[in-house]
C-alpha cells in the first residue's frame, strides 16, 4: 500500500490543495501533537505559509509528543516526509482536502529528549504553544493552585536531568535558554480553558519556584503568556476515515485528520509583533481582551456539547449529530443556552449570540464529522469545572438564578456514571477521577449526595438548596426511566 509522502502527493487529484514545499526554519515548538493541533494551529500556519511565503517563511513548527501513544504518530509522520492531509467537511457535506506542510519535524520525549530541550533553548524559537488538555496543566481549578505535590511533578523536581512532564522539559529548556542569554519567548496555550494563558503562567511559575527560583525570576521578565480562544470540532482520527481516504485517492495517510470546516482563533495580543506569526492575514483575530469570547464559546459550544453528549448517551445515541436532532435534546439545548448561558454573557460588539448559537447547532448536526457522544463525555471531570460550573456560579449571582438545565447536565452525568458502574464497573469510562467514581458509585443512594458534594469538581453546589433539589429531582426521573415526563414539567 502506497503511503502519502512529498514524493507521491502530486498523484492526488487536482481538487486536493497541495502547497509548494519549501525548506523553512522552525520558530514554534508545539507540545501536544494530537488531531486538534494538526487541524487548527498547524492548519493556520500552513495557510499563512501559502498566502505569504516570503514574509512567513520561518514560521514552521517543531511538534513534540510527550505521551506514549504519540510515538506511533511521530513514526508515521516521519515516514510521510513531514506531511499529512486535512479533510474538512461542512454540514451540507461539501468538503476540502489539503496537504499540510507546516510541521518541520516531530519529536518524541522517549527518543528525542535532548533535542526537545535544545529546541526550547534555541534562540530561533520564538513561540512555545500547547494543546495538553485541561488535566495537563496540573492545576486545581477550584483553588487556583498548581498541584505541586503530584507524584509526577515531584519526580521531575527530584530528577531534573530526566524530565517526564511538560513542566520538567520546559524548565530544563528554559534554564539552558537563560544560561545562553537567549531572547524572550511567548508561551501560548491553545486549550479550552478560561484564561488559558493565566492558567499556563500559574502552572509554569509555580513549578519554577520549586525547581529554580532564579529561573522563575528570569521567566517573569522574559516570558509572555497571552490568553487565546480556539475552536474547530475535530474528532479523534480513526481507521474508517483513513480507509475512506485510501479508497478515494489510492494513498494511505496514517496521519490524516478530519475536522469541520469552521475555524476560529482569537488571541490576546497586538497585531504586528515580529516575534509572532502574522496570523491576522488568514483570519485570526487579535484583541485586547479575549475573556468575553471565551465565555461565549465555552458556555454555548463546550457546555452545550456536554449536555448533548450526556443526554445523547442516555437516549442511546452514539453520535452528536444524531443526538442533537432528537426533539427533547434539542429543546433542552435551546432552553439551556437561551435561559442560562446567554443572559450572563458580556456584550460583544459585532457578535449576535443567538446567531452564534444557531451556527453551533448546525455544526453539531454535521454528520460527516461523525463525532461520538463517548468522546464528548470523556474527561468530564476536567471539563465540567471549565465549561458548566462557571455558568452556574454566574447564575447564582443573579437575583433570580436560572438553574434547571444546568442541574439536568449534572444529573445526566451522574446517570451516565451510575449506568457504567452497573454495566461493567466503569471499564469504558475515560476520566482522570475514574477510581474515585468507582468507589463512590458502589452504593447508588450514597453516590447521589457524595457526587454533587465532591468539591474539586462541583465546589459548594451541594450547599445551594435550589440547585441541589433540581439536581435530585432530575436524578429521580432518570432512575425511574421517566425523564420525558420530568422534561414536560419544566
d(CA 225, CA 199): 9
Please tell me the predicted confidence (pLDDT) of residue 473.
96
In a domain, 295, yes or no: yes
Same domain, 214 and 240: yes
Q: Enter the pTM of the model.
A: 0.87
Same domain, 346 and 473: yes
d(CA 486, CA 195): 36
Same domain, 188 and 305: no
Which of 258, 286, 314 lies at the terminal end of a domain, its last residue?
A: 286
In a domain, 1, yes or no: no
In a domain, 4, yes or no: no
Same domain, 261 and 378: no
Which of 264, 286, 308 lies at the terminal end of a domain, its last residue?
A: 286
Would you say 472 and 308 are in contact if contact means Cβ atoms under 8 Å apart? no
Total residues belonging to the chain: 490
Please tell me the predicted confidence (pLDDT) of residue 1.
59
d(CA 77, CA 453): 45
Please tell me the predicted confidence (pLDDT) of residue 24.
77
In a domain, 3, yes or no: no
Same domain, 379 and 263: no
Q: Phi, psi at residue 14, to the nearest 5°? A: -65, -20
In a domain, 98, yes or no: yes
Which of 229, 256, 286 lies at the terminal end of a domain, its last residue?
A: 286
Same domain, 45 and 62: yes
d(CA 378, CA 430): 5
* The 3-state secondary structure of the chain, one letter per residue: CCECCCCCHHHCCCCCECCCCCCCCEEEEEECCCHHHHHCHHHHHHHHHHHCCCCCCCCEEEEEECCHHHHHHHHHHHHCCCCEEEEEECCCCCEEEEEECCEEEEEEHHHHHHHHHHHHHCCCCCEEEECCCHHHHCEECCCCEECCCCHHHHHHHHCCCCCCCHHHHHHHHHHHHHHCCCCCEEEEECCCCCCHHHHHHHHHHHHHHHHCHHHHHHHHHHEECCCEEEECCCCCCCHHHHHHHHHHHCCECCCCEEEECCCEEEECCCCCCCCCCCHHHHCCEECCCCHHHHHHHHHHHHHHHHHHHHHHHHCCCCEHHHHCCCHHHHHHHHHHHHHHHHHHCCCCCCCCHHHHHHHHHHHHCCCCCCCEHHHHHCCHHHHHHHHCHHHHHHHHCCCCCCCHHHHHHHHHHHHHHHHHHHHHCCCCCCCCCHHHHHHHCCCHHHHHHHHHCCHHHHCCHHHCHHHHHHHHHHHHHHHHCCHHHHHHHC
CA nearest 125: which of 221, 26, 257? 26
In a domain, 55, yes or no: yes
- CATH number reported for the structural domain that contains residue 47 in this entry: 3.40.50.720
Quote the cell numbers at residue 150: 503530584
Quote the cell numbers at residue 7: 514524493
Same domain, 379 and 338: yes
d(CA 134, CA 131): 9
Please tell me the predicted confidence (pLDDT) of residue 484.
85
CA nearest 64: which of 6, 105, 93? 105
- Residues with Cβ within 8 Å of 457's Cβ and at least 6 positions away in sequence, in order, are 381, 384, 385, 389, 433
d(CA 107, CA 116): 7
| Overall domain count for the chain | 2
- CATH number reported for the structural domain that contains residue 390 in this entry: 1.10.1040.10
In the block, cell 511538534 appears at 63
Quote the cell numbers at residue 388: 458548566
Would you say 212 and 152 are in contact if contact means Cβ atoms under 8 Å apart? no
Please tell me the predicted confidence (pLDDT) of residue 196.
95
Q: pLDDT 10s digit of each residue in the chain, 490 long? A: 599 999 999 999 999 999 988 777 899 999 999 999 999 999 999 999 999 998 888 899 999 999 999 999 999 999 999 999 999 999 898 999 999 999 999 999 999 999 999 999 999 999 999 999 988 999 988 789 999 999 999 999 999 999 999 999 999 999 999 999 999 999 999 998 889 999 999 999 999 999 999 999 999 999 999 999 999 999 888 899 999 999 999 999 999 999 999 999 999 999 989 999 999 999 999 999 999 999 999 999 999 999 999 999 999 999 999 999 999 999 999 999 999 999 999 999 889 999 999 999 999 999 988 899 999 999 999 899 989 999 999 999 999 999 999 999 999 999 999 999 999 999 999 999 999 999 999 988 899 999 999 999 999 999 999 999 999 999 999 999 989 888 888 8
Same domain, 336 and 442: yes
Same domain, 38 and 101: yes
d(CA 405, CA 453): 19
Residues 377-395: b if buried by 16+ CB within 10 A, e if exposed:
bbbbbbbbbbbbbbbbbbb
CA nearest 129: which of 334, 284, 303, 288? 284
Same domain, 257 and 304: no
Same domain, 108 and 127: yes
Would you say 304 and 334 are in contact if contact means Cβ atoms under 8 Å apart? no
Sheet with 127-130, edge to edge strand ranges:
103-108, 60-65, 26-31, 127-130, 185-189, 223-224
Same domain, 297 and 281: no
Q: 279: domain range?
A: 9-286
Amino acid at each position: 500500500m502506497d503511503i502519502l509522502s512529498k514524493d507521491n502527493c502530486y498523484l492526488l487529484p487536482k481538487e486536493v490543495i497541495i502547497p509548494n514545499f519549501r525548506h523553512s526554519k522552525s520558530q514554534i515548538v508545539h507540545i501536544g501533537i494530537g488531531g486538534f493541533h494538526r487541524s487548527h494551529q498547524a492548519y493556520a500556519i500552513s495557510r499563512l505559509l501559502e498566502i505569504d511565503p516570503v514574509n512567513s517563511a520561518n514560521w514552521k513548527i517543531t511538534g513534540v509528543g510527550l505521551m506514549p501513544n504519540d510515538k506511533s504518530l511521530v513514526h508515521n509522520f516521519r515516514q510521510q516526509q513531514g506531511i499529512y492531509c486535512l479533510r474538512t467537511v461542512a454540514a451540507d457535506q461539501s468538503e476540502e482536502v489539503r496537504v499540510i506542510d507546516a510541521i518541520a519535524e516531530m519529536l518524541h520525549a522517549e527518543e528525542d529528549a535532548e533535542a526537545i530541550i535544545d529546541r526550547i533553548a534555541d534562540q530561533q524559537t520564538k513561540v512555545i504553544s500547547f494543546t495538553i488538555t485541561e488535566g495537563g496543566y496540573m492545576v486545581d481549578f477550584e483553588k487556583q493552585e498548581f498541584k505541586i505535590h503530584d507524584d509526577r511533578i515531584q519526580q521531575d523536581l527530584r530528577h531534573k536531568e530526566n524530565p517526564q512532564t511538560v513542566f520538567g522539559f520546559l524548565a530544563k529548556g528554559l534554564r539552558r535558554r537563560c544560561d545562553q542569554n537567549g531572547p524572550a519567548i511567548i508561551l501560548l496555550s491553545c486549550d479550552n480553558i478560561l484564561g488559558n494563558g493565566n492558567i499556563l503562567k500559574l502552572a509554569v511559575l509555580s513549578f519554577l519556584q520549586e525547581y529554580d527560583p532564579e529561573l522563575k525570576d528570569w521567566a517573569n521578565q522574559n516570558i509572555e503568556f497571552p490568553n487565546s480562544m480556539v475552536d474547530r470540532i475535530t474528532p479523534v482520527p480513526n481507521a474508517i476515515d483513513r480507509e475512506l481516504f485510501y479508497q478515494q485517492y489510492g494513498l494511505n495517510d496514517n496521519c490524516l485528520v478530519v475536522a469541520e470546516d469552521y475555524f476560529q482563533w482569537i488571541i490576546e495580543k497586538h497585531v504586528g509583533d515580529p516575534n509572532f506569526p502574522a496570523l491576522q492575514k488568514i483570519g485570526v483575530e487579535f484583541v485586547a481582551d479575549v475573556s468575553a469570547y471565551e465565555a461565549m464559546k465555552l458556555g454555548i459550544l463546550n457546555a452545550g456539547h456536554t449536555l448533548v453528549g450526556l443526554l445523547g448517551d442516555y437516549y442511546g445515541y452514539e453520535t452528536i449529530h444524531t443526538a442533537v436532532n432528537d426533539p427533547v435534546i434539542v429543546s433542552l439545548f435551546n432552553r439551556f443556552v437561551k435561559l442560562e448561558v446567554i443572559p450572563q454573557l458580556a456584550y460583544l460588539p459585532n457578535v449576535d449570540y443567538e446567531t452564534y448559537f444557531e451556527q453551533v447547532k448546525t455544526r453539531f448536526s454535521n454528520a460527516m464529522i461523525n463525532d461520538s457522544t463517548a468522546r464528548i463525555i470523556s474527561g468530564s471531570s476536567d471539563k465540567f469545572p471549565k465549561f458548566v460550573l462557571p455558568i452556574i456560579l454566574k447564575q447564582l449571582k443573579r437575583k433570580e438564578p436560572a438553574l434547571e438545565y444546568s442541574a439536568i447536565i449534572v444529573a445526566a452525568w451522574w446517570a451516565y456514571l451510575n449506568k457504567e458502574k452497573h454495566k461493567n464497573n466503569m471499564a469504558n469510562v475515560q476520566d482522570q477521577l475514574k477510581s474515585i467514581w468507582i468507589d463512590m458509585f458502589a452504593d447508588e443512594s450514597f453516590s447521589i449526595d457524595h457526587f454533587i458534594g465532591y468539591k474539586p469538581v462541583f465546589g459548594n453546589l451541594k450547599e445551594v438548596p435550589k440547585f441541589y433539589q433540581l439536581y435530585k429531582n432530575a436524578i429521580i426521573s432518570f432512575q425511574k426511566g421517566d425523564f420525558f415526563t420530568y422534561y414536560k414539567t419544566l
